[in-house]
Amino acid sequence: MFHRIALYGNLIKNRAMEILSIHNIKEAYFDLDLENYILSFDDGLYSQFYYFPILKKTGNEMFFFIITSFIKQGKPRKMFNGASHEYVKSSKYMHDALVKREYTNFMTVEEIQLLSSHKQVLIGAHSHFHDSIVENIPPKKPSSQWKLEKHPYIRLMDSKKWSIRSKLAFQGYNFRDEVLMKRSEQQWIDYIKFDTELCLKWFESNLGVTPVAYCFPFNEFNDKLIMVLKSFGFNMFFNGSSAGNEDVFARMDIDAKLKENGIGS
């Protein structure tokens, strides 16, 4: 598996194939000529397993980036049999997972194991907790309901100056005893290491491998995060943008690609 990942990293760098990022799958995605793209899937969602019989027909290898704390024990469920699978928005399934602790929208351990045994599949890490923190920077967009429920005090703060961001990519502030307290740099680094150690432990226990490909939660990263992840053996990084970092493969959201091609508009 390590050999295939190393080779495929070189393949991406040397071929003019665009990388698409995909979350929950909707049928309109199959109106694209998917064989012309490298496909990467975030979060470890059941719909990705369900539609795998169609996806593998592209003939290309695919990256599946999983949030390891969301992947629970359970028997494999059915794959595509001609019927559509219900499309669930990320705001809904993340709310279910992070607020309600409900994980039915995600693959089970055995489903991940089945995918990982396929020669076209490369399983990568998407963190263990996929957690967030409050940071003193302007928001990129309005916060999802699940973020507001996890950080309810942010409603009382200046919405133009404070936002909810990746707990891995930002040092951030914790809210304790009604007081905002900035994490120390060491606390931040310790958290990155803690999250990554748990993620790697899951891979070893359930797949018997050490992943080398990593996709950043919330499409947010910085040099410090990459430095720590490299110390654990990761050497392929995926994000919505490379931000000029040669270690990071940029991807295009598949919904933006649909719009670009006038599909479903």
Could you give the percent of the chain with pLDDT greater than 90?
A: 82
Per-domain residue ranges for the chain? 2-130+192-260
Q: Is the pLDDT of residue 48 over 70?
A: yes
Q: Is the pLDDT of residue 5 over 70?
A: no
pLDDT of residue 9: 64
Interhelix angle 185-206/223-231, rounded to 10 degrees, is 40
Model confidence pLDDT, tens digit, residues 192-230: 999 999 999 999 999 999 999 999 999 999 999 999 999
pLDDT of residue 118: 93
Is there a contact between 165 and 218 (Cβ–Cβ < 8 Å)?
A: yes
**Phi, psi for 158 (deg, rounded to 5):** -65, 110
Q: Is the pLDDT of residue 2 over 70?
A: no
pLDDT of residue 80: 95
Confidence of residue 11 (pLDDT cuts 50, 70, 90): low
Q: What's the predicted TM-score (pTM) here? A: 0.94
Rounded to the nearest 5 degrees, what angle is found at the Cα of 122, between the Cα atoms of 97 and 201?
Answer: 55
Q: Is the pLDDT of residue 6 over 80?
A: no
Q: Is the pLDDT of residue 156 over 60?
A: yes
Model confidence pLDDT, tens digit, residues 243-260: 889 889 999 999 999 999
Confidence of residue 263 (pLDDT cuts 50, 70, 90): confident
Confidence of residue 176 (pLDDT cuts 50, 70, 90): confident
- Look up the CATH architecture of domain 2-130+192-260: Alpha-Beta Barrel (3.20)
Averaged confidence pLDDT in the chain: 92
- From residue 245, alpha-carbon distances to 17, 140, 200 in Å are 18, 21, 24
